Structures are given as C-alpha cells and as structure tokens.
Amino acid sequence: MTTNDIPLPFILKVAIPAVPFFKLFEYLAPEDCPSENLQAGIRLEVPFGKRSKIAFLIAISTESEYPIEKLKPITRIIDDAPLLGCCDLKLLHWVANYYHHPIGEVMSTAFPVALRQGKDTIIKKLPKISDNKTKTSPLICNDAQQQAIDAISATLGEFNVFVLDGVTGSGKTEVYMQLIQTVLNRGQQILVLVPEITLTPQLQQRFEQRFSTHIAISHSKITDLQRKNAWLLMQSGVCSLLLGTRSALFTPLPNIGLIILDEEHDSSFKQQEGFRFSARDVAVMRGKLASVPVVLGSATPSLESLYNVKLQRYQHLQLPERAGNALPPLVQILDIRQQKLQEGLSAKLVEEIAVTLAKNEQVLLFLNRRGFAPTLICDGCGWVARCVHCDANLVIHRHKNLLRCHHCGTEHQLVSICPACQSNDLTSLGLGTERLESVLTHLFPDKVVLRLDRDSTQKKGALDDFLAQIHAGDAHIILGTQLLAKGHHFPSVTLVAILDVDSGLFSTDFHSGEKLAQLIVQVSGRAGREQKQGKVLLQTRQPDHSLLVELLRDGYTKFAVLALAEREMAGLPPFSYQALLRAHAENEDMPIMFLQTVVELAQSLNVQNVQILGAIPAPMARRAGQYRFQLLFQHTNRTALHTLLKQLVPQISTLKLAAKVRWSIDVDPVDLY
Ligand code: ADP
Ligand code: ZN
Ligand code: ZN
C-alpha cells in the first residue's frame, strides 16, 4: 500500500460557545464518517476537559496546527443538515475579526440558548396570521415616498445602502411596508430591526394589519423557547418576515431579500457589554455578503451614515415633509434665565400646559432623570448621600422610600435624619420624574398624569397598558424619560416640552451634541402628528447657544453638516477610527499596571501612527466597587488600527495581568464610559 492510499484524517475546526478563545478548536472526525455528514454549520458534541460541550463546525481541513495524535475525536454529530448557511458563517467570521472577539462568544450571541445546549430543531408553534377580514391597503404615496420606494426596489438583488432620511411622521413606515410587500411577492425574506423592545408591538401591529404572512418576533424579553422558535421559523424558511431588536440580527435567513433598520441613529443598536457589536454596521455587512439592499431609516440620521452619503457609499433618500396633512411642529426656545421655577417648570410652561389641556389635547413632558431627585443633602453639615461602591450620589426614590444607586443598584432606606450630624434639615436637590409627577398632580388635580420611565414600566405589560391609555385619551399629561423619545406615535399630543435642555449642552463626550440634536428633533416629532399642529418648547438658560440656534433655524440636516465639519477639524470619528480598551478590578493598581503593559506591548508591535491615549480613569472611575481605567486607540486609517488590534488582542489575553483584571475591547465605541 502506498501512502497515497491512506485516507487523510478530517480535522474539524469548531467554535465552542461562550469559550473566550480567539482561535478555533480542533478535533478529529469519527473514523469512516462520510464527508457529506460533515458540513460547516452543523452542531457537534465534543469532549472538553472533563466534560463535553456543544460545538459548531466552522471548517474542515486535512491540516492541523497541532500534532494529529494530540487531537481528540468528537463525541457525536448532532445535526443532519447545517443550521447556518455559507453567508451566515462568513458574517460571523467577519464580526469576530472586526470586533476582535472570540468566535465562541460570537456564536453564543448568534444562537438561542436551547440550540447552544444541543436541543432539537423542531418548530413548536407557528405565529398566527391575522384574518384577511381586517387588512389595510397600501396608501397612495406622495412623490418623495414613491421615489424612495422606486430607488430601493430597483436594486433588489444587489447590495446598496440607502439612508431613508425622513422627518418624523413623513411616512417612512409606509415606505418600509410597500418594500416588504414587494420582497414578499418575490418569495424572499425580510429582516426589520428596531432599537427598542418597546417599539416592536406597534410595528408588529401595523405589519399584521397589512401582510398576509407569518411574522416572527425576536428580542431579549421573549422566552428562550420563543426565541428558538422564531430563529427556526426563519432559518427553515417557513417564515418570511422577522421583526426584532439587535439580538435578532444574526438569525439565519437562507432567502434574505431586504434588511431594514429603523431609527438607525439610535445608540441602542450598539451592544454596550460583552460582545460590543453595532447592529447597524453588521447589518450593512450582512447586506453586502448577501447582495441585498439595506435601508437605514431615521428622522435624524447618524453623522456616520451622513458621512457615508457624502462619500457616495450610501444613497440619500429624503422625505422632507410630513405625510398626509400633518404640519411640522412649531419649535420655540423658552428662556428661563432669572425665572423662578416651580419644580423645574417655568410659569410660561405651566400656562401653556393649562391652555392645551383646556382644549382637550395631550401634553408630553420630557425629563431624562428617573427618581424623585438626584441628590439628598444635609443643610446642617453638607453631608451628601453617596454610594459607597461608586463615584455617584444616591438618587431619592420617594415612592419606594429608598435611596438607590443608578449604577450598581445598591439600595438604602430613605433617611430623614442626617447620619453625620443628626440634624433633620435634609433637602432633596434637583428634579427627577417622580418629583415632576407630584407637582403636576398638584397643579392639575383633575387631570390624569402618566409617568413613563424604567421604574414605572418594570412590570410586564405595564408599558402596553400605558400606551393604550394614552391612545384612548385617558391620560392628559404624559411625562417621561428617553423611553418617550423613540418612534412612538401619539396622535393627540399637541404640546411637547423638554424641561432640561442644558444638561445635554455641557457634556465632555464628543457625541453629546449629535445626541442632543437628535433628542430634540425626535421628542419634537411626537407633537401634532395628525390634524392639529404641535408646539414644542425647549426650556433653557442658554437661549443663544449655537447648537440650539442653528438647529432651530436651519434644521437637523444643516446641523449635521456643521457637526461633521467640527469632527473633521478635531480628527474625531467618522474622520478617524477608535477602539477602547477597558479594564477594571477591585484593586486600584491592577488595571493601571495591566493597561501600561498593553501600551508597551502595542508599542513593540511597531504599527505606525496609531495614537494611544491613556491609561486614564474612566469617566466614572469607580463603579460597583471596581476601579475602572481605559486606553483609547485611534487612527485615521481603519486598516492600520485593525492591523494593530489583530496582533494585540490575542496577545493581551495571554498576559499574566489579564487574569487579574476584567478587560474588554470596544471597537467603534459610542459611549466612552
Ligand atoms: P414615520 O415612520 O416617518 O414617522 P409613519 O409611516 O408612521 O411615519 O406615518 C405617519 C402617519 O402618516 C401615519 O398615520 C401614516 O398612516 C400616515 N401616512 C404615511 N404615508 C401617507 C400617505 N402617503 N398619505 C397619507 N397618509 C400617510
Ligand atoms: Zn448633617
Ligand atoms: Zn453604586
């Protein structure tokens, strides 16, 4: 027998979920296993240490980095057919590379828990299709809508990114729905992503009223079983329409035809812990790999997307006017300098609220701070209620009679006597939504005040109940946090006010101007969405601030041009690329020593012109008992930055000090905290 006759062993390269290892693990195929049973994308059971684990077959090779005799055979093959297609595998590879994240952890994000545990792939339940008794017909589009639909439809089957830049209420959803119908008619699948779970019910309802097809829903608040079911419905091709949040992004769609991301500017599309991917950017890559168009919709597109428009990488489609007969809201600055405020409300605002309520119209007040007040201070000795674990004050929660840390969750009973000097002169400083609620109830005793924030909507179904109450006209004044800013449709709201614009004007994060402008436009967009014109009041002590003046005078599009010019001058993203290495530990010295070692390591790798800033304390240097430090890598060239990270990150994981801290790498960070 010649050596040529000895069959070469199959080496199976696998990813093991939740194992933080940058390379693939290698195993041997079972002897005499036919190669057609070993397709990339199937699940396997493999021995791992003393236990066994479920693994995903990523590639098959006849070569190994290790001596063959060291490799162990797998225990069993789980699936007859691959769960992932070739595009899905390519995408997961790409994200693991781009975010410098262990492939096994990427797999954990892509798969529902039950499948990661090796459970069966039987579809348990089909979503119901609502009766054809009740379907809405497509609306007759205006010219701008029609142009957008035509431009996108013309490129089905090709990769293209469209920024659907439409003012609030301009009928973007109608554009999505007509495109979805076209793609359904072609027998293809559609992925629709929204930034917030709270936005899925209203879109689901509009879709159900329009389409005669199963709609799969996927987000982090459904059960593991529901998520698995939605995943399999799409993966098997039984369902054609998937609506979800960023966790739905990796669901396999063998027959994908279109990707839509609504509210693309929203930073919730960026995962802020663990595997820190941007669902927007990955969706674009997914569209590219699958050769399908990607629609990024927003009334306030991100500066990144507008920059891509400028570079002609993305196509700009504008819907400059509200659809139907709705008028744009009147936005006014309310100068509150030298005014006595009643719990954050100026006399003029109280008067406007009264006038609106007298017309039986609804009022919406925006304040981005939960709780009663952010600070409890002693007038006698100056003692302030601080969190012992964080660099932060404890927030007063009157309803629950608690002092609570919003960063680590620590709670104490609310005190009425100063623990330092025993005086009973304790004062609540500042304004939170609970306090605003109580003053409004006092000022308008015969009106229903509804507070919508994370505290009041914690109970399952609470938010839906609130939204139903608003729609039914049973609530008169709605106040809340950023939960309110997102794409909700409140037809009877005609007065909107932002109580504390100034807190957004003086942040150190370079994203803050963009975020404030988006917030103002988005919150304003909740006013007067149907027949009655809306009014928006911005309370500020900075009435001449250029951001406010320019935004109100010229609108968001021009604001964005100026903001981009500022970023360019400062060499900030999107004119440069960043990655943030965070480290924290209980011991203050460890993260500093660790990051300093990383700096030395990075310098030794000799990648030119990468700026390394730090190690510096995180903006909140102590949180939940952990000392937090960070290192920022920045380069004008994305490839150069990634060349460095590609070498650096796997080496960091082998550093002795890496075991003494918790660390993570955040590519394209949106929040420098
Ligand atoms: P957006 O998603 O841009 O905020 P929507 O799609 O929710 O806007 O549309 C806002 C309102 O305008 C909805 O009530 C919708 O039914 C209506 N609308 C949309 N397009 C048209 C149209 N072409 N003619 C009349 N009304 C429309
Ligand atoms: Zn005191
Ligand atoms: Zn704390």
pLDDT digits (tens, 9 = 90+) for 16-75: 987 778 889 999 998 878 888 889 999 999 999 899 999 999 999 888 888 888 899 999
Ligand 1 close to Cβ of residue 496 (< 6 A): no
Residue 312 has pLDDT above 90, yes or no: yes
More confident residue, 129 or 558: 558
Could you tell me the pLDDT band of residue 132, with boundaries at 50, 70 and 90?
Answer: low
Residue 487 confidence (pLDDT)? 66
Structural element, H or E, at residue 672: none
Could you tell me the pLDDT band of residue 506, with boundaries at 50, 70 and 90?
Answer: confident
Partnered with residue 81 across adjacent β-strands are none
Look at the block and give the residue holding tokens 């879709």.
207
**Gap between the Cα atoms of 235 and 85, Å rounded:** 9
Of 242-251, 478-487, 568-577, 589-598, the least confident: 478-487
What is the dotted CATH code of the domain comprising 2-111?
3.40.1440.60
410 CA to centre of ligand 3 in angstroms: 6
Ligand 1 close to Cβ of residue 188 (< 6 A): no
| Ligand 1 pocket test, candidate residues 163, 173, 321, most atoms within 8 A of CB | 173
For residue 283, the 8-state DSSP code is H
**Gap between the Cα atoms of 479 and 453, Å rounded:** 8
Q: Where does 488-625 show beta strands of DSSP type E?
A: 493-498, 535-540, 577-585, 611-623
Three-state SS across 39-107?
CCCCEEEEEECCEEEEEEEEEEECCCCCCHHHCCECCEECCCCCCCCHHHHHHHHHHHHHCCCCHHHHH
Residue 1 confidence (pLDDT)? 39
Ligand 1 close to Cβ of residue 381 (< 6 A): no
**Gap between the Cα atoms of 172 and 495, Å rounded:** 23
Could you tell me the pLDDT band of residue 7, with boundaries at 50, 70 and 90?
Answer: low
Ligand 1 close to Cβ of residue 363 (< 6 A): no
Ligand 1 close to Cβ of residue 322 (< 6 A): no
Ligand 1 close to Cβ of residue 169 (< 6 A): yes
Residue 509 has pLDDT above 90, yes or no: no
Residue 488 confidence (pLDDT)? 75
**Gap between the Cα atoms of 261 and 551, Å rounded:** 25
Ligand 1 close to Cβ of residue 531 (< 6 A): no
Ligand 1 close to Cβ of residue 521 (< 6 A): no
Give the burial class of 74: count Cβ atoms within 10 A of its Cβ; 0-12 exposed, 13-18 middle, 19 or more buried.
buried
530 CA to centre of ligand 1 in angstroms: 9
Ligand 1 close to Cβ of residue 173 (< 6 A): yes
Partnered with residue 172 across adjacent β-strands are none
Residue 490 confidence (pLDDT)? 83
Q: CA-based angle 400:401:402, to the nearest 5?
A: 90
Domains 2-111 and 330-373+430-567 share a fold: no
Ligand 1 close to Cβ of residue 171 (< 6 A): yes
* pLDDT tens-digit readout, 185-227: 999 999 999 998 888 888 999 999 999 998 999 988 888 899 9
Ligand 1 close to Cβ of residue 297 (< 6 A): no
Ligand 1, atom 20: nearest CA belongs to which residue? Answer: 171
Q: Which of 333, 354, 294 is nearest to 162 (CA)?
A: 294
Ligand sitting nearest the alpha carbon of 422:
2
Helix 172-185 with 143-153: angle, nearest 10 deg: 30
Residue 8 confidence (pLDDT)? 64
Q: Which of 503, 508, 541, 536 is nearest to 522 (CA)?
A: 536
Residue 130 confidence (pLDDT)? 67
106 CA to centre of ligand 1 in angstroms: 38
* pLDDT tens-digit readout, 520-571: 999 888 887 677 888 999 999 999 999 999 999 999 999 999 999 999 999 9
> Quick one: tokens of 271?
């995962």
More confident residue, 202 or 367: 367
Of 18-22, 116-120, 146-150, 371-375, the least confident: 18-22
Ligand 1 close to Cβ of residue 298 (< 6 A): no
197 CA to centre of ligand 3 in angstroms: 26
Ligand 1 close to Cβ of residue 146 (< 6 A): no
Residue 525 CA: nearest ligand 1 atom is: 4
C-alpha atoms less than 13 angstroms from C-alpha of 513 in its C-beta half-sphere: 19
**Gap between the Cα atoms of 434 and 84, Å rounded:** 48
Phi-psi region of 561 (alpha: psi -120 to 50; beta: other; left: phi over 0): alpha
Q: What b/e readout covers 227-249, taking b as 16+ CB neighbours within 10 angstroms?
A: bbbbbbbbbeeebbbbbbbbbbb
Q: Indicate the average pLDDT of the chain.
A: 92
User: Which residues neighbour 417 within 8 Å (Cβ) at sequence distance 6 or greater?
Assistant: 423, 424, 426
577-667 maps to CATH 3.30.70.600: yes
Question: What CATH number matches the domain at 143-319, 2.60.40.10, 1.10.357.10, 3.40.50.300, 1.25.40.10?
Answer: 3.40.50.300
More confident residue, 175 or 169: 175
Residue 299 CA: nearest ligand 1 atom is: 3
SS3 130: coil
Strand 477-480 relative to strand 449-452, pairing: parallel
Q: What is the mean pLDDT of residues 471-476?
A: 92
pTM over 0.75: yes
Q: How far is CA 42 from the centre of its chain?
A: 30
Residue 173 CA: nearest ligand 1 atom is: 6
Q: With contact defined as beta carbons under 8 Å apart, do 115 and 121 qualify?
A: yes
**CATH H superfamily, domain 330-373+430-567:** P-loop containing nucleotide triphosphate hydrolases (3.40.50.300)
523 CA to centre of ligand 1 in angstroms: 17
Q: Per-domain residue ranges for the chain?
A: 2-111, 143-319, 330-373+430-567, 577-667
441 CA to centre of ligand 3 in angstroms: 31
CB atoms within 10 A of CB 75: 16
Residue 538 confidence (pLDDT)? 96
Residue 599 has pLDDT above 70, yes or no: yes
Main-chain phi, psi angles of 3, to 5 degrees? -60, -30
